[in-house]
Each structure stands twice: as C-alpha cells, then as structure tokens.
Structure 1
Amino acid sequence: METTTIEYVTGDSERVLDITDDCTAFVAGRGDGLLHLFVPHATAGLAILETGAGSDADLLSALRELLPADDRWRHRHGSPGHGRSHVMPALVPPYASVPVAAGRLALGTWQSVCLVDLNVDNPRRQVRMDFLAR
C-alpha cells in the first residue's frame, strides 16, 4: 500500500472542491488496484459527481435544504448552524473508493472526485489517499 496526505484550503464558504487531478497524479503509473480516500475530519466528506455543469452547486443547495444553517442543532459551537456540518458526513461520507486500471482512475466520463466542506470555521482540510495494488 502506498499513501499520501494532501492538504486543501476550502476557505470561508461552503465548498465542493474537485480533487480529481491530485487523485489522478497519485495513481499514475501504479498499475491495477484501488484508490481509497479518507477525510479525517468530523465536518467534511467526499463525493463522486459531475462538476462544472451545476451539479456541484446543486449538491450544496440540496445540503442547505436538508441541513439548514440555523439554531436547531444541539451541537452549537462555532458559526451559526455549525452543528449541521457534523451531520453532513452521514449524507456525504468521509471516504470514497475508485478502481484504478493500468494506473488510471476508472471514473465515468463526467465523474469527478470532490471534497465537500460546509464548515466555514475551518478552512484547512486533509485528504488521505491510499493506493491498494491488486
């Protein structure tokens, strides 16, 4: 198994950040296997979806509707509605796996690997990437 951890700055607003290029670079030339990704944060997740055509914005809109940034949350430290960020990983999990064939991600034509972060209080996120060779 080969591993790397990459830090991303997501800023002070909700974000869907496409990390596919970093995933592609990590598996390049490694043969067949599996890329497993993990976000070691209680308020971030990983999603595989189309980006650039509105789906990333649609995901954020859907999460805003499902998890409003208001005072209903019992987990109340941080910015208003921060508790919803702690619920989000139940919907957008903190892990994802992608098959790798001949050193290339076996994603569909429009699929991208994305870091999803609703937590505006913590702008720095890490993603651990593990390549498991076949």
Structure 2
Amino acid sequence: MDSEVRSYRTGGDEVVLDLTRDAADFVSGRGDGLLQVFVPHATAGIAVIETGAGSDDDLLAALGDLLPADDRWRHRHGSAGHGRSHVMPAIVPPHCTVPVLGGTLALGTWQSICLVDLNVDNAERQVRWSFLAA
C-alpha cells in the first residue's frame, strides 16, 4: 500500500472542504485499486456528497440541527458546543473508500470527497491518502 499525509487549513469556521481534486491527483496513473481516505482526528469526518449546489451547506445545517453548538455536551473544553465535534464522527465517519479504475476515481457524476470539520478550535487538519493496488 502506498500512503501519504497532507495538511489542510480549515480555518475558524465549520467547513465542508472538497478534496476530490487532490484525491484524483493522488490516484492518477496508479491503475486499478482502492483509495482509502482517513482523517486522524477525533473531531472531523470524511463524506462523499455533492458539492457546489447547496448540499455542503445543507450538511452543515443538518449537523447543526442534530448536534447543536450549546452547553448540553459533557465534553466541555474549547469553544461552546465543542463536545458535539467529538460525537460527529459517529455520524460522518473519519474515513471513506473509493474504487479506482485505470487511475481514475470511480465516483458518481455529482459525488465529491469532502473533509467535514465542525471544530472551530483546530484550524489545521491532516488527511491520510492510501492506495491499495488490485
């Protein structure tokens, strides 16, 4: 398996960051196999969703409804509602696997690979890209 870690700046706002271009670059020319995308953080996730048509904002809104940024959380250090960021990976997992055919991601027409980060206290994230050849 070939693997590397890349850093991404997410800033101080909740974000859905499209990583599809980086994923395509990572698998380009590698033939057939599987791409594993993993975020080694307790407060971030990886989603395969449509972006640019409002779905990314809809995801953040849905997570805000499910996991409000208020004082209900037992995990209380950091900004208000920080504990919800530790629950989010149970809903948006910290990983995804995508088939790769002929060095090209086998995503659907509107699918994108995205980093989802609700933790406004951590402005930089790492993503591990791993390719397992067939």
Question: For residue 77 of structure 1, what is the aligned residue in structure 2?
Answer: 77
Q: TM (normalized to structure 1)?
A: 1.00
Question: For residue 115 of structure 2, what is the aligned residue in structure 1?
Answer: 115
> Counterparts of 1:1-134 in structure 2 under 5 Å?
1-134=1-134
Q: Deviations over 1:8-51 (max 9, x none)?
A: 00000000000000000000000000000110000000000000
CA–CA distance in 2 between the matches of 1:120 and 1:90?
Answer: 18
Partner of 2:84: helix, strand, or coil?
Answer: helix
CA–CA distance in 1 between the matches of 2:4 and 2:24?
Answer: 13
Partner of 1:52: helix, strand, or coil?
Answer: coil
Identity over aligned pairs, percent:
71
Partner of 2:76: helix, strand, or coil?
Answer: coil
CA–CA distance in 1 between the matches of 2:126 and 2:40?
Answer: 7
Q: TM (normalized to structure 2)?
A: 1.00
CA–CA distance in 2 between the matches of 1:43 and 1:76?
Answer: 13
Question: In the TM superposition, what is the alpha-carbon distance from 1:4 to its structure 2 partner?
Answer: 1.1
Partner of 1:68: helix, strand, or coil?
Answer: coil
CA–CA distance in 2 between the matches of 1:97 and 1:68?
Answer: 29
Question: In the TM superposition, what is the alpha-carbon distance from 1:69 to its structure 2 partner?
Answer: 0.2
Kindly report structure 1 stretches of 4+ aligned residues shifted beyond 6 Å: none
CA–CA distance in 2 between the matches of 1:126 and 1:30?
Answer: 22
CA–CA distance in 1 between the matches of 2:42 and 2:13?
Answer: 17
Return 5+ residue gaps in structure 1 as ranges. none
Amino acid at match of 1:68: P
